[in-house]
Structure 1
Amino acid sequence: MHPDRERLRLHRRLTQAALTWAELDRDPGALYRGVRLTEARETFTEPGPDQGGLSRLERDFLTASVESYERGRRAAARSARRLRVLTAALAALLCLAAAAGTAAWRQSGVNARQRDEAEARRVAALAGTLHASQPRTAMRLALAAWRTADLPETRQALRTAAAQSEQDVFTQPEEGGRALNAPAWLGTDGRVLTAVAHDRAVQWDVRTHRQIHSVARPGLSEGLIDVSGDGRLIAQRAPGSTGTVIRGLADASTRRLATGRWRDAEGAFGPSGHTFLVRRRAHDAGSDRAVLELWDVDRQRLRLRYEHGEDDGPLPLPSPDERHLAWCGHDGTRLRVLDLAVGRLLATHPPRATERLLCEGEELAFTPDGRAVAAATAEGVVTWDFRAGRERPRLPLAGGANAVVFHGAYALTWSPGSLSLWRTDLPAPADDGPRAPLLTYPAAGSEIGGLRLDPAADVLRYREGGRTSVVHTLSLHGLLGPAWRENPADRAAFDPRGRPATAHEPPVVDRQNTIAVDPTGRTALTYEGTLVDIATGRRGTGGVEGEDILRTAAFSPDARHLAADDAQGRLTLWDARTWRRIAVLRPAGSTVQEPALAFSADGSLLAASAVDGSVQVWETARPWLTAATVRAGDGPVRAFGFTADKGELHMATPHLPDRVSPLAPARAAAEVCARANGGATEAQWHRYLPSVPYRTTCGGT
């Protein structure tokens, strides 16, 4: 009875729903759905024409409900399929987008790296063109190029910058407007530049480029006479040209010398700055007599008056100890030396040819001992020792000399196109040949003056004239320092760790000289380029072919490379395993001096000396690139030594037993930062590397 009652209840509900559906004109919204449809299908799906006792309306209602449900189910299935397809498509698109983004990001990184490398190469090449005109900028740009991209080209540029001779160029700022050819003086050590323009004397610290003093005085430009060598004092004609006023530039002190009227007169400070020399024409009829007066600046009184001077030629030159005056008289053809202690001329008696050369020079110069006078002449530097009555060894210069200054045992000369540093106390060359300078620098200017040596800083400075003064600073690479060795060394050597060692000659094998031994110590290379077994004398396979007679050679410690120099100065790099020529490093060189050769411990670097005292360093992996250039001091280089980590190159020259130059990029960068007083500024970076984001190159600068 209970199941029939539940069926009847569902039947009545179905009947009522079917009637409602019919009243609503069979609206699909009135059909069964969900639980009701499920119950009706389970109860009234009996087979037979009356479908479980249902009326026609009820059967139609139930059939329509089932069909509506099936249509909905099929539509949902289709929607689900479409959703799955769409989801898969979106996932695929997302993967493609991610892959494309990753590829674009990687390509962007590649493009940025390629851009940086191209810019780094360009700036490294640019730095090489700025060494002479803008040395600090050149050093900073070489460092910036390496910081931008660590490449063989940028490493070579950085090594060159860390050892370049050119230290600085200071261009005098124009104070108070343009003043063409305003007079300027460079201090005794070259550290202070004094310029006078628009009645104002301005002093600059050449090392820091900072102004240190500025003094304005009415009539200073018109009445200017001289500035003392130490830059402390400036001399000008007194108002009305009736005396001399000496002003202190630092302490504003004033001293007055009663030198009389400045008509037909000229004057200059003595070397110490404590004396002042005046030469005044005597105005004797038919005479070129001049009166010489030496004034004590500190006591403001006359120290000496000499009535028999001569008014032709440059102003007489005081000796360093201010005990003598020297000039050329008798129409500039006779050497005069005045002893200031007794007020009489000394009997110098130089040979006529020597005297003629001395007096043809632009100006005379005393040697530091005050016993000799010298002049830059067409035959070089000629020096006459008036105390000993003999000529000192000449300093020969092709094309002659334009100027010379002395400092202790050193002489600095300027000849057309170059500056040369000499050591005057060296013995004569053993082969009786001409003396040679310790080193020579190019100097292309035509108005060079103010040659100065600064031993404390181991540099030389000179002033180049023009619209404004330009002061150049050049490193002397230890030649003025304590490492100087009086007795020159003929031979030198370094051990594998870069420490000085005893030099050994290559062995003689079967009565045949050899020039290099391989790292195993079993095979040697002969002058003909052949390999021989040291123990047996047998000829080995391979060797150097196609070259002239070899003069010197070196194997790399890893036995992979050989560097060989022939009689024509041609330097080549060879693969020591296949004996194939890798590169011609130097097509020609000195035919007199043999170069020193050495490889780093891993064979990645090769150093070779040049006849001018410089050293070239190649990376053997890319020997076709321009070599880094390192200055060794005096030449020729006797030997090289690399530290075990190839961080430093040690060089031995005749007078410098162990000069060091940094080769590891990090060490070279530190050296550049110290020498250039910091890295590239933001302004310099944006000017020379506009497409590369700015980055600091020297710590915080």
Structure 2
Amino acid sequence: MAQDAHYSSTTLAEAAAGRKLPTLEVALAYVRACGGDPAVWEERWRSAVAESPSPSSEGPEIGGGDQEQRAPYVGLAAYGPQDAEWFFGRERLIEDMVSRVRTQRFLAVFGASGAGKSSLLRAGLLPEIGSQNASAGEQWPTVLLTPGPHPLDACAAHVAAFSNRSAVELREGLKGNERALHLTVLQALAGRPADVDLLLVVDQFEEVFTLCADADERARFISALLCAARTPDSRTRVVLGVRADFYARCSQYPDLVEALRDAQLLVGPMTADELRQAIIRPAARAECTVEGALLARVMADAASEPNSLPLVSHALLETWRRRRGNSLALSGYEAAGGIRHALARTAETVYTTLTGQQQQLACGILLRLVALGDNTGDAKRRVRRDELDTTGPGTDTVLEALARARLVTLDTDTVEITHEALLQAWPRLREWLDQNRADLIAHQQMAEAALTWDREDRDPGVLYRGARLAAATEWAERHRSDILLGDRLRDFLDASARQERRAATRSRIAIAALAVLALISSAMSIIAFQQRGTAQAARDRAVAEQAVTQAGQVAGLDPALAAQTNLAAYRIHPTQQAATNLLNTQNTALSTTLTGHSGAVYAVAFSPDGHTLATGGRDKTIRLWDMSESAHPTPLGRPLTGHTSWVYWLQFSPDGRTLASASRDKTARLWNVSDRADPTPLGQPLTGHTGYVFSVSFSPDERTLATASFDHTVRLWDTSDPAHPRALGQPLTGHTDSVASASFSPDGRTVASAGHDHTIRLWNVTDRNHPHPWRPALAGHTDAVYAVSFSPDSHTMASVGNDRTVRLWDVSDPAHTAPLGRPLTGHTDTVLATAFSNHGHTLATAGADNTILLWDLSRPDRPTPLGPPLVGHTSFVYWVAFSPDGHTLASVGDDHTLRVWSLPETVLTGHTDTVKTVAYAPNGHTLVTAGNDHTLRLWDTRDPADPTALGPPLTAHADAITRVAFSPDGRTLASASHDLTVRLWEVSDPAHPRSLASIPTHDAESTDALAFHPTEHILVTGGPHRSLQLWDISDPAHPTALRQPLTGAISKLHWAAFSPDGAVLASTSSDDQVRLWDVHDAAHPQPLPSIETGAKSGILWGAFAPHTRTLATAAGHTVQLWDVHDPVNPTALGLPLSGHTLLVQSVDFAPDGHTLASVGNDGTLRLWNTSDPAHAAPIGNPLTAGHTDGLKSAAYSPDGHTLATAGEDHLVQLTSTDLHHAIRRICATTSTPTATQWKQYLPQLPVKHPCR
């Protein structure tokens, strides 16, 4: 009977004996096996459910104190509807989600694993909708389900319970009619008010990909959901909860793509305030307090662990179990293991309490509960309880132990891992998965085949045969006593073997005839060889895709390692994803890592010629490095020893012949480094300080050295004869606490000192024998100040400290110093280091948040971040130093390493607000940029790796500049602005541009339309009342209007352009139409039929493909291609190109027309293959191109080798489209992955240098 029912004998026996009420699915399987009527027994099952007592909805138990008190945290489990009163921190997101659900019938909630999607849906959305509906006197019925391996079954069972229909009947309907779900809901709600809808929430929607092996069932389930939500008379609102890494899988279903277009909600990490609420408010509700030190520690730990909410909840639950009285303390948290170790500690404790046989069972059970992924990583898998039955009684014991610790969740007849966080947090399970991956993949494939065989009434046609059966049999022999095998799979393989034996008997009869086929056999061997090649290619692709996935996971921690991993993937199999990831590295700082010090490294300094680097640290040594090849430094000689404690600070003298060092041993030392391979001490240590010496600084004439100390003083030393230094005058006093650093200004007139007393003091040292304060101490920092640095011109000073801020000061007159702008607040922890580049336009800061930030100081009063943080160090970054040319940055840290960073030279800085538009001149090397700072800037990009500004910015406009364009001959530049003018500029000599004319647009609403005719001296601009105006610019200093304006737009104009042949003029506007004009005779333009795009959010931009009349338009989150070869009958080419998650702001075709670039407010640059415009497709992964905010404009250079992008981060980035250029930079600037890194990220491959 068990075989006929497809359930284990244990499960059926428990149901038959009345010990356990089975699920509807189990009950109906039993009935079918006995030959009963499923419809009759379904009704009886429902009656039994109605009569049985409801289980209590208990919260998680507690381990100490009052056993009846509910714990305020749920551990790994998701918060459910019953936990809503304990669910805090997501109020704003819940409000947004509820608003979206009320205004649209379909919504997909995306988020990384661990972001809290399930809790948000279960404890946020459902209770809030219910509460609001109850207040309004209405009640929406709700259905919450997870798809599992058979989503149609799950849907039928849950919706049948709501609609009082037969689950059997509904499932059959869903299999044959996509409208079955929709019709069932309509029928169920027929007697209820029209404003009452069914809210259908599908949590863990990714299970349709990870658990459902039947592609047809998956497609029918998706179709049923979409039909129910999107049919005009729909009364269903569908909400999906989806893991973000399955977004690409969703994109394989066109109807789902269309539904997702404007129906996505991204769940990101909690903000600091949200996390604080999630920690303290549940405890407060339980009348418990959270110790301040514990709160700070949990928040700091969570900040370094992305998507760590399950780990936070588990750690807090374990802390609660260790509480003393009504207080949660840091000691309890640390005893539990904290975020990083609490879960592993819990799992390890459970595991070690099991017997040896039970431990083997636990391993097998947990491995069965994991669905191995390729590009999406591993996922948890829900398994029927009977699939885990073995011949021994140990399975129940093991499951109960795992469930008590909340590592697994037991349902009526299913088992699953409580949260996927366990897969990464428990090293033992991770090791099991890694060691058994090949066997598990094989098992997963065989189990799916066995399930298909079972569901197809054990059809012999599904059985294995030949080599496939031989491999499966060999696998089964190795796992015969293993829980992995299972009854169904064993039956499947036994049936396959029986069929194979029968086939062998038949084949012996035909052996003689087979001899005739020898020639055919030879041919087949060739085919087999080709198939083996195909199989190898498939394996290579799978390995490469896995490597790309690994690179994506590490990119936020170490971009250099991610770049090497992507390169390794590309070498294995050149996928588009790997290629675009490699292109994206060009605008990223990449580093090589150097080791040698045996402890924390505190100090780093470049020699004035940039050829030598010095480092010092906790191991009491100083090391010199040869920087002849800046990307690959090598040690110079032996470490310098002499200090008896930690080395805190280093600086070379301006002539590079002397090195000064400061130490915890209360001394400073001078070293002769004229011979870098054989440096020697100079004279005796400088003594006099009574506390640690924190810093040293040479004067520009190198005749004086300043030292700062723990003893609250600064001392000056005469170093005219470095072999015989001597103290100058008395110590400089005034600080009331330790002086962390002292620095000479480049003009030699000032020494600035930073103190733990929260102040900075400026000392007039023009007379070195009689220094005195320039002014009273500078206040502003609210905690200890750790470092100060001067700009090369001595006009600007930067200070950093324990208050996590960077402050800039105008010190051009040291006696009248003033703050410059507001404090910079990008760091999330103490800031320890600051350094200016030699050109003075860039500032680097670093600190205890393990990051380095770069700042653009083109305008010191309006500094802006310069690209994303530099990440790679795994602990505090103590100091940074720029190379003299500014192209390299060195950093040292608590992780015992020196990192040498190659800074991208492809970033254009200078704008002080959003850059809205960029354009290349026809000559291919002049670039114009403009934006909200009212300025235009011209750049020479002959060498895209080293672009230079051409003259000062052009400042004639009085408001934001929205569009720029060059005339076909490159001699005239046009710019359109919100000041309601278009200006023309003479740029024949782009280094000396001059203004030619100003054209008023005569419109109360600014217009962004601006374009030159490709062959004639004609310019199109916005005109009065949302019109277009053509201008004759034969004499650009005196433009004249051609006829009357072209009218028709009923809303704001966004873009206009001529087709490449000059025959068609196109424009876009907020009314979602593309208007076309026949301009063969520009003096007499004729309107053509408009394109009704169907867009709902205005068309912000467009672009014609070179040499054709293919038009691309950007509307909403998508790009649409159009065929306007016959402008009277324009047609759409293919489906809209989707992928952007916010408004697309600009598009541009490559010169060959085969590639389209699009940029948008989501901060991404996307590339599209438009070789066949009717079947355009994305190329690889989206790029950020080094930007950190929304993008506004993109333009290809005329040769197609460079792509310029501009955005809200005030930057313009130049990205080479030459993949080999990107690879050369990676190989020139990054370290080869270590053996440990290779094993971690590329375990499928032997260690091999990607750059060789």
Q: Aligning the two structures, in what range does the TM-score lie when normalised by the shorter sequence?
A: 0.5 to 0.7
Confirm whether residue 487 of structure 1 aligns to residue 913 of structure 2: no
1:247 equivalent in alignment to 2:671: yes
Q: Deviations over 1:85-124 (max 9, x none)?
A: x9x9687321221132122122112212222222222223
What residue number does 1:458 align with? 887
The alpha-carbon distance between structure 1 residues 627 and 276, as it changes in their structure 2 partners (threshold 3 A), is same
Contact kept, 8 Å, 1:516 with 1:555, in 2: the verdict is no
Correspondence for 2:643: 220
Corresponding position of 2:705: 276
1:524 equivalent in alignment to 2:1066: yes
Look up the equivalent residue of 2:1203 and give its one-letter code.
L
RMSD: 4.9
Instruction: Give the strand-richer structure, 1 or 2.
Output: 1
Q: Does 1:626 align with 2:1181?
A: yes
Quote the Cα distance in structure 2 between the aligned partners of 1:225 and 1:302: 21
Letter in 1 for 2:588: S
Is 1:534 matched with 2:1077?
Answer: yes
3-state SS of paired residue (2:799): strand
CA contact (8 A) 1:421 1:439 kept: yes
Give 1:502 deviation, angstroms. Answer: 4.3
- Residue number in structure 2 paired with 1:405: 835
Tell me the SS of whatever aligns to 1:143.
Answer: helix
Change (3 A) 1:613 1:475: farther
1:170 aligns with 2:603: no
Q: Which residue of 2 aligns with 1:319?
A: 745
8 Å CA contact 1:492–1:652 kept in 2: the answer is no
Q: Specify the SS of the correspondent of 1:316.
A: strand
1:572 to 1119, 1131, 1134: 1119
Q: 1:399 to 1:439 in 2, by over 3 A?
A: closer
Match of 2:876 among 429, 447, 454: 447
Cα offset for 1:643? 4.8
Within-5 A mapping of 1:393-432: 393-394=820-821, 396-398=823-825, 402=831, 403-407=833-837, 408-414=839-845, 419-426=852-859
Superposed CA offset, 1:463-502 (max 9, x none): 3x224134251523345956145634766558999x9984
SS in structure 2 of the partner of residue 548 of structure 1: coil
Q: Offset at 1:383?
A: 0.2
Partner of 1:617: 1167
Q: 1:348 to 1:405 in 2, by over 3 A?
A: same
Structure 1 unaligned blocks of 5 or more:
1-85, 283-287, 429-433
Q: Indicate the residue corresponding to 2:24 in structure 1.
A: none
User: CA, structure 1 residues 617+190, in 2 after alignment: closer, same or farther (shift >3 Å)?
Assistant: farther
Residues 1:192 and 2:622 are matched in the alignment: no
Alignment of 1:276-355 (within 5 A): 276-278=705-707, 293-296=717-720, 298=722, 300-302=724-726, 304-307=728-731, 309-310=733-734, 312-314=737-739, 315-327=741-753, 333=759, 335-341=761-767, 343-344=769-770, 348-349=774-775, 355=779
Alpha-carbon separation, structure 2, partners of 1:573 and 1:111: 37
| Partner-residue secondary structure (3-state), 1:439 | coil
2:708 & 2:1236 partners in 1: Cα distance? Answer: 52
Are 1:515 and 2:1070 counterparts?
A: no
The corresponding residue for 1:94 is: 518
Offset from partner CA, 1:45-76 (integer Å, 9 cap, x none) = xxxxxxxxxxxxxxxxxxxxxxxxxxxxxxxx
Alpha carbons of structure 1 residues 281 and 544: separation in structure 2 relative to 1, 3 Å: closer
Q: Is the 8 A contact 1:144 1:680 kept in 2?
A: no
Q: How far apart are 1:309 and its partner, in Å?
A: 2.2
The code of the aligned residue for 1:335 comes to R
**Which one-letter code corresponds to 2:606 in the other structure?**
G
Distance 1:330 1:192 in 2: 29
Residue 1096 (structure 2) pairs with residue 547 (structure 1): yes
Query: What amino acid is the match of 1:515?
Result: W
* Counterpart Cα distance in 2 of 1:106 and 1:339: 81
* 467 and 374 in structure 1: CA distance in 2 versus 1, 3 angstrom threshold: closer
In structure 2, C-alpha distance between the alignment counterparts of 1:544 and 1:437, rounded to whole Å: 39
Mean CA deviation greater in 368-377 or 105-114 = 368-377
Contact 1:120 1:148 in 2 (8 A): yes
1:475 maps to what in 2? 903
Measure the CA separation in 1 of the matches of 2:1146 and 2:971. 15
Q: Output the TM-score relative to the length of structure 2.
A: 0.40
Distance in 1 of aligned mates of 2:560 and 2:863: 34
SS of the aligned residue for 2:894 comes to: coil
Match of 2:529 in 1: 105
| CA 449–600 in structure 1, closer or farther in 2 if over 3 Å, else same | same
Q: 1:586 aligns with which of 1135, 1140, 1143?
A: 1140
Out of 1129, 1132, 1148, the position equivalent to 1:598 is: 1148
Q: C-alpha distance in 2, partners of 1:356/1:681?
A: 45
1:274–1:633: structure 2 CA closer, same or farther, 3 Å change rule? Answer: farther
- 2:779 aligns to what SS in structure 1? helix
The runs of 5 or more residues in structure 2 that have no matched partner are 1-509, 909-945, 955-960, 976-1009, 1012-1019, 1021-1027, 1029-1045, 1079-1084, 1124-1130, 1171-1175
Deviation at 1:574, TM superposition (A): 4.2
Identical-pair percentage: 19
Secondary structure of the residue that 2:582 maps to in structure 1?
A: helix
In structure 1, what is the Cα distance between the partners aligned to 2:580 and 2:785?
44
Greater helix fraction, Structure 1 or Structure 2: 2
Q: Aligned in 2, Cα 1:442/1:227: closer, same or farther, shift over 3 Å?
A: closer
CA spacing shift, 1:262–1:665, aligned 2, 3 Å? closer
Q: Which whole-Å CA distance do the structure 2 matches of 1:405 and 1:631 have between them? A: 22
Contact 1:423 1:437 in 2 (8 A): yes
Change (3 A) 1:543 1:623: farther
Report if aligned partners of 1:605, 1:619 keep a CA contact under 8 Å in 2: yes
Q: How far, CA to CA, are the matches of 1:501 and 1:124 in structure 2?
A: 46
CA contact (8 A) 2:713 2:733 kept: yes
1:364-404 C-alpha deviation (Å, 9 max, x unpaired): 33332235543237664230323472536326534679353
Residue 196 of structure 1 deviates from its aligned partner by 4.4
Q: Please give the alpha-carbon distance, in whole angstroms, between the structure 1 residues aligned to 2:590 and 2:774.
A: 42
Q: Deviations over 1:127-164 (max 9, x none)?
A: 33344555444334433433433433233233224x14
- SS state of the match for residue 786, structure 2? coil
Any idea what SS the aligned residue of 2:948 has?
A: coil
Deviation at 1:165, TM superposition (A): 0.8
Q: Give, in angstroms, the shift of residue 443 of structure 1.
A: 4.4
Match of 2:864 in 1: 436
1:641/1:650 contact within 8 Å kept: yes
Q: What does residue 46 of structure 1 align with?
A: none
The structural deviation recorded for 1:212 is 1.8
Q: Deviations over 1:214-269 (max 9, x none)?
A: 2354x634385643247953547899x8x865333633333225745553463643
Secondary structure of the structure 2 residue equivalent to 1:310: coil
Name the counterpart of 2:1112: 562
Structure 2 CA distance, aligned partners of 1:216 and 1:258? 14
